[in-house]
Amino acid sequence: MRFTVLSLFPELIEQGFNSSITGRAAEKGILSLRCINIRDYASDAYGHVDDYPYGGGAGMVMQAPPIYRAYEAARGENPRPRLIYLTPQGRVFNQALAQELAREEELYFLCGHYEGVDERVLEEIATDRISIGDYVLTGGELPALVLMDAISRMVPGVLGNEDSSRGESFMDGLLEHPHYTRPEVFMGRPVPEILRSGHHANIERYRREESLRRTLEIRPDLLEKAELNQADLSFLEKLQKA
């Protein structure tokens, strides 16, 4: 997977991406990151990339020409790269979208700042508009990192153990079960007995039930779309009656 990010703060992206799992995958050549500083394509020697909004109002707007020049320089031979504009007005990001985007070979991200970006350049180059949630941040860099991280985990070879993403929250429509590791007792709280029993079928059932219990308590809305078998439904019914 090749990521290209158009941003006014490329160092923020590079620092976040090159740490931990995504950084290691980049070293192995499974992922690559290219950051383009939009300011390098400014119209004047002062590096101006924003201006007052037509029609008045608070704040500044990122100008179309520097962004378009940065895009043109980055896209090379690719006539229409898939370019995601990060915006609170976009489709809300989730695991299913991460899985879909992970199937691409190359993705571009455009990070906005100030009041946002001149609409005309978005019409020209953005193929997708994606939000990371119903709140407003100062810039698109953190959202771009959020997307790249979630997408990267779905790219084969990025997680050491291919099983690691299986069973995780949202992968099967449910929240994941709780996790425990040593010590066996922490502040008087022992690890659930069943997890030390070595009985794989019972452990699997226990985890499934804990996953159902959590989802019912915290995100009952997810249960409407989750794939549930008869045993799951009976367990949920028992919980609801209790």
Token pair listed for 135? 């709140």
Q: Tokens 């090379």 belong to which residue? A: 76
For residues 140-169, which are near ligand SAM according to CB under 6 A? 140, 143
* Residues 6 or more apart in contact with residue 83 via CB below 8 angstroms: 71, 107, 108, 109, 110, 125, 126, 127, 128
Q: How many CA atoms lie within 13 A of 22 on its CB side?
A: 22
Among 10, 16, 66, 116, binds ligand SAM (CB under 6 A): 116
Number of Cβ within 10 Å of residue 184's Cβ equals: 11
Q: How far is the CB of 134 from ligand SAM (least distance, A)?
A: 7
Residue among 144 and 158 whose Cβ is closer to ligand SAM? 144
Calpha distance 31→167 (Å, rounded): 24
Among 131, 149, 216, 228, binds ligand SAM (CB under 6 A): 131
Q: How far is the CB of 30 from ligand SAM (least distance, A)?
A: 26
| Contact present, 44 and 15 (Cβ < 8 Å) | no
Residue 138 touches ligand SAM, criterion: CB under 6 A: yes
| Contact present, 228 and 216 (Cβ < 8 Å) | no
Q: How many CA atoms lie within 13 A of 203 on its CB side?
A: 13
Taking CB under 6 A as the binding criterion, the range among 11-19, 99-107, 129-137, 148-156 that sits at the site for ligand SAM is 129-137
Residue among 48 and 225 whose Cβ is closer to ligand SAM? 48
Q: How far is the CB of 146 from ligand SAM (least distance, A)?
A: 8
Among 31, 88, 150, 151, binds ligand SAM (CB under 6 A): 88
Taking CB under 6 A as the binding criterion, the range among 41-49, 69-77, 86-94, 196-204 that sits at the site for ligand SAM is 86-94
| Contact present, 83 and 126 (Cβ < 8 Å) | yes
Q: How many CA atoms lie within 13 A of 14 on its CB side?
A: 10
Residue 44 is which amino acid?
A: D
Residue 139 touches ligand SAM, criterion: CB under 6 A: yes
Residue 132 touches ligand SAM, criterion: CB under 6 A: yes
The contact set with ligand SAM (CB under 6 A) reads: 86-89, 111-113, 115-117, 131-133, 135-140, 143
